[in-house]
Amino acid sequence: MKKLTSIALGLIVAQMTTLALAQSGSEMPVNEKPKLEIQISPYSYHFSPSEEHENVYMVGLEREHANGKLDGVVLFSNSFGQPSVYIYPWGSVYHNIFGVKPLSFKWTAGLLYGYVDPYEDKVPFNYNGFSPGIVLALAYEFQPGWSVQLDALGNSALMFQLNMALK
């Protein structure tokens, strides 16, 4: 457990250092505030359905910085009904994909917790319920402050998501 705590603290320090360096050398407007979004997901599609699978529900909070960097936290019930969390201090968003103004590509990376006995082998590199996480997504803003998003959850599933900007 000491090793895992050291790794978690190292990740936090690395994130804080990265943000400090990015802010000191960036061209980010001083008075532009990050954009916050509430995320919800009522459904995920599994590529290989199983009788063990349960509905996946998710709620999260994501912050988009003026320079396109993303971070956030997501609470969800995993595919086996276990309460889980995904904390992602790293990520980016790229707007105007393929010249389509409302279309965005996102990636996030962080720490996942929740896949515990007997499902600890369902995610790679799991140690006592903790594992690295990476999510790739396409988002489409259908009206200002509202978007739908499709998340690729490794080779396991697609998550359908609705995002609402907080003002």
The count of other CB atoms within 10 Å of the CB of residue 164 is 13
- CA gap 30, 144 in Å, rounded: 23
The two three-digit tokens of residue 64, written as one number: 């988009």
Q: Which residues pair with 90 in a beta bridge?
A: 109
pLDDT tier at 30 (50, 70, 90 boundaries)? low
> What is the secondary structure of 27-42 as a DSSP string?
---TTPPPEEEEEEEE
pLDDT at 12 over 60: no
The domains found in the chain, sorted by start residue, are 32-166 (2.40.160.20)
pTM of the model: 0.81
Task: State the amino acid at position 50 in one-letter form.
Answer: S
Query: H/E element holding 47?
Result: none
Task: Give me the mean pLDDT over the 154-158 stretch.
Answer: 93
pLDDT at 11 over 60: no
- CA gap 37, 81 in Å, rounded: 25
Condensed to tens digits (0 to 9), the pLDDT of residues 89-143 reads: 999 999 999 999 999 999 999 999 999 999 999 999 999 999 999 999 999 999 9
pLDDT at 43 over 70: yes
Higher-confidence position of 25 and 33: 33
The two three-digit tokens of residue 14, written as one number: 């690395």
Task: Give me the mean pLDDT over the 40-44 stretch.
Answer: 95
Q: Which residues pair with 100 in a beta bridge?
A: 97
Cβ within 8 Å of residue 123, ≥6 positions away:
112, 115, 131, 133, 154
Average pLDDT of the chain is 87
pLDDT of residue 79: 95
Tell me which DSSP letter residue 120 carries: G
Condensed to tens digits (0 to 9), the pLDDT of residues 79-89 reads: 999 999 999 99
